[in-house]
Structure 1
């Protein structure tokens, strides 16, 4: 049968299932390239020679033109190279030119530390974009804190955005390590200020100050005059007060600058004054420095510590909640077992105060103070309280800690109050509570400490609010029938004080300015001996004891969250174990330092 006959036979058949077959040979392009490379190696049909030094490489113009805009411009326009059979490749060495031609014909190239810079430079000149990015990817894999600043300079020289982005990201995330490198001292003033001014810089403000001082000392003659501009990049509000006034204020560089000393003095007046309204007295130019937000690398972490675990014994455990993974991680254990200690945070340090020791033959009431920082994940002892006590309350305000009431060494209810000054590391007695109570809800805001309810000496609920004016060292009290809580936490959120449960399901928000209570969504069950803390604008409640439907008291391991904007409760999982009479507070850390700690 002839070809025409076959075609007529096909057309006379029923319509085919597939009218058109679009065939693509996946091996055609690679096979073609392999054949072209063999022709090049045998010098068959080559029509141009690329020359670098004494090295001559025969090539096909059409292959070069197809592979690069550089060669397309060279051979497809009225340039001299169009007529030449030999083209000198100035600026490219023979080894690198060989590698690039091999890459053009095979798609393969070996990148290593010896050739990456020359290969990257040639790829940029000859406009091989994918090869250029491959070199960038290789350099990104070599990034370390001690070379990332050099890589940034290299990326600027090479105009490589992808390398610059990754190197800058490492410099920001590992700034504590980067700050000790010699490369940092070689930065220009503009470059250094760019780092210190960046919200995403992963460093504590103390580290920021030490970095700028080290940078100035690297070349003090020409850089000393920059201290004022650099100091404005330190976010003073987020410095530890002791560091600010004992180290920074006494630094010779600070003292040599009139503007810096004025800034320090303004902050000193603000922080040493109990009255937060002193902010109005700040010089206008200094207000933005004080109001600067904390850096994005700072994270708030929910920490749970101590208490009674599984209704068996006092716990030495300390846990931190990772919001991203919704999981609990263990921190270093408390040095001793403490029953009804108090727990409070001051300047991102966790304080455990007093309590009744339970891991000795004879329990005793303690006045010891233990501290924990997420930065070190190690427990230390601090200046002890003036009096031993347990079942007491503690609260922080500005740079002070206040310890209120509880049971003393004689196991009797005490109205005494003492205050710890975090800047001077000193304790002092202040005015006692008008009416001593056990297990009240306590919170501090607006220059005052508010004590709601509790239990009096006859174990009856105290329906009153007791208020301590911090600046005047005076107490006042007022009866309020709404108050009826025992063993309930209080948390300040959105300028309101939230009182959560306390042998009740009720949740009330106390508006300090209006002196009135706002009724919020109830808890699911009557709860007491639990703990609460604010985290990222929400209220988290951990553990405690609850009264079930059969009026039986049970321990719980729940983690619940209250959103004041929607007035709703949601479950966020559970603690690793049932827990009550524990501490729950929010600590701030840079990144996740606690994960790296022993």
Structure 2
């Protein structure tokens, strides 16, 4: 009679427990205090967010035959397995109290687990899963604060904000007073401006807090002032560094592959495995597009389309987020162009020069405002050039060298002041680079090669050049990005000992502290005229021992 009164799921749970007791198809042993309990991973993972995190992510426990819980909850867990499955299943349909009791055991077990040191570390590393569990909403305010302020929390700041909202909404009457204290744990500097001003700023809970609204207004004023210096009221929140789990990673995109055709490939270099990973391909082959990163989103701007029968100079903008690994279209540029330069500063993207619809050399400049998703034309550059080295620092964009329409080198520095929308020029014999990239480290702009082996650094504060260790070969059409205050130079073309131009698959690193070059191996294929960017992604890498 008991059997016929059971529903399918209850009967299934009973049989799974029988299989566990008889050690049939069990695939893990939970160990603590010289006690071992055979279990099924899939049952544990489906029953507890703690075990979901343990077995469904890249932790060592996910493939171990024996897992040491390292906490004194094994007897409670054994009781949970027996009492929940036996007592509740056999009596659950008619005796609701048994289910209530076993649910209490289940909840007690999860709370014992989640408050342990090992579980806390795992919860911090798998916060995406833990943040949507009901157990997290049962945490006390100090416990939740401990999670949200943890430098090793594996989460984006937008998710941190959504977690504190969910926790407050679980018991709004008694918890809404904690909104300002919790809000200060969100590292606003790393929140996308659109999310900050359209979602966070308009949330009723945030609007009900004077402190929260004052902080948001301070951030708004800071962004509109186009400066990196903030006031004393905002500084403690604004200068907080990224969490340790947010790591910069190198991404390559587009370019000419193996001197055959324009590539749609996008590659990510995994520093831990020292291997390249393939990302989603660009929707189109784009010849001499420009590439830039802002708010950890990769932008591919313009270019000459190569997939169509008639090649078209494009205004299209494509974006890629590592979180989704999907390409999307964004607001198009005002003017079609290719062989142009782009650079990011704060929440802006600047696009400079290049070749226009009629293949003419352009002097136009346009700016994209990520806060408002709008493009606007800026004052044109004094001298139109192709293939200069471009970098932004301290409210200015520096454009070094390049070549004119007759392919003559331009020996000057053109400087654009972002806040004033004005250009200035400095002629210098030091600059003679063409098709060379530039990058900024500690107020110094490094110009790498450009039909030469020479690398120089321009000190923007002292207004002087410094010579650095040379490249091994004369190089051009290569790319550079900054990771951990080092320059990573990839691909390009070089002039060999017989004065013949060859494509390169080189991957090198320059350390300004030692003024030395080291090799990082090779790219998966030869590549030039590509984009090389540093994107931030969230990693669940464990804390160092």
Give the 5 Å matches for 1:143-158.
153-155=111-113
| Distance in 1 (alpha carbons) for counterparts of 2:540 and 2:314 | 32
Query: 1:149 deviation in Å?
Result: 9.4
Give the 5 Å matches for 1:154-169.
154-155=112-113, 164-169=116-121
**1:329 counterpart = 2:277:** yes
Aligned position for 1:94: none
Query: 1:174 deviation in Å?
Result: 1.1
Query: 1:287 deviation in Å?
Result: 1.2
> Greater CA radius of gyration, 1 or 2?
1
**1:211 counterpart = 2:163:** yes
Aligned position for 1:226: 178
The 8 Å contact of residues 539 and 563 in structure 1, kept in 2 or not, is answered as yes
CA offsets per residue over residues 12-68 of structure 1, 9 Å max, x none? xxxxxxxxxxxxxxxxxxxxxxxxxxxxxxxxxxxxxxxxxxxxxxxxxxxxxxxxx
The 8 Å contact of residues 557 and 574 in structure 1, kept in 2 or not, is answered as yes
| Distance in 2 (alpha carbons) for counterparts of 1:378 and 1:418 | 26
2:127 to 147, 150, 175: 175
**1:195 counterpart = 2:121:** no
Aligned position for 1:250: 202
Aligned position for 1:579: 527
1:264 to 216, 222, 244: 216
The 8 Å contact of residues 547 and 554 in structure 1, kept in 2 or not, is answered as yes
2:438 to 478, 490, 494: 490
The 8 Å contact of residues 148 and 168 in structure 1, kept in 2 or not, is answered as no
Give the 5 Å matches for 1:474-489.
474-489=422-437
1:111 to 16, 37, 43: 37
Aligned position for 2:479: 531
The 8 Å contact of residues 111 and 135 in structure 1, kept in 2 or not, is answered as no
Equivalent pairs, count: 459
CA offsets per residue over residues 379-406 of structure 1, 9 Å max, x none? 0000000010000000000000000000
Query: 1:526 deviation in Å?
Result: 0.3
The 8 Å contact of residues 318 and 329 in structure 2, kept in 1 or not, is answered as yes
Query: 1:324 deviation in Å?
Result: 1.3
Query: 1:111 deviation in Å?
Result: 2.5
Aligned position for 1:362: 310
Going from structure 1 to structure 2, the CA distance change for 1:411 and 1:187 (only over 3 Å counts) comes to same
Aligned position for 2:324: 376
Aligned position for 2:93: none
Going from structure 1 to structure 2, the CA distance change for 1:355 and 1:109 (only over 3 Å counts) comes to closer
What SS does the corresponding residue of 2:211 show, helix, strand or coil? Answer: helix
Give the 5 Å matches for 1:57-136.
111-112=37-38
Cα RMSD of the aligned pairs, angstroms, is 2.6
| Distance in 1 (alpha carbons) for counterparts of 2:534 and 2:114 | 42
What SS does the corresponding residue of 1:370 show, helix, strand or coil? Answer: strand
Going from structure 1 to structure 2, the CA distance change for 1:109 and 1:355 (only over 3 Å counts) comes to closer
Unaligned segments of structure 1, at least 5 residues: 1-106, 117-130, 158-163, 594-598
Aligned position for 1:275: 227
Aligned position for 1:460: 408
| Distance in 1 (alpha carbons) for counterparts of 2:106 and 2:157 | 21
What SS does the corresponding residue of 2:316 show, helix, strand or coil? Answer: strand
Query: 1:275 deviation in Å?
Result: 2.7
The 8 Å contact of residues 439 and 480 in structure 2, kept in 1 or not, is answered as yes
Aligned position for 2:259: 311
Going from structure 1 to structure 2, the CA distance change for 1:134 and 1:591 (only over 3 Å counts) comes to closer
| Distance in 1 (alpha carbons) for counterparts of 2:333 and 2:236 | 37
What SS does the corresponding residue of 2:143 show, helix, strand or coil? Answer: helix
Q: TM-score, normalised by structure 1?
A: 0.74
| Distance in 2 (alpha carbons) for counterparts of 1:561 and 1:551 | 25
Aligned position for 1:98: none
| Distance in 2 (alpha carbons) for counterparts of 1:209 and 1:140 | 33
Going from structure 1 to structure 2, the CA distance change for 1:140 and 1:438 (only over 3 Å counts) comes to farther
| Distance in 2 (alpha carbons) for counterparts of 1:177 and 1:515 | 51
- Structure with bigger RCO (C-alpha 8 Å, 6+ apart): 2
The 8 Å contact of residues 443 and 461 in structure 2, kept in 1 or not, is answered as no
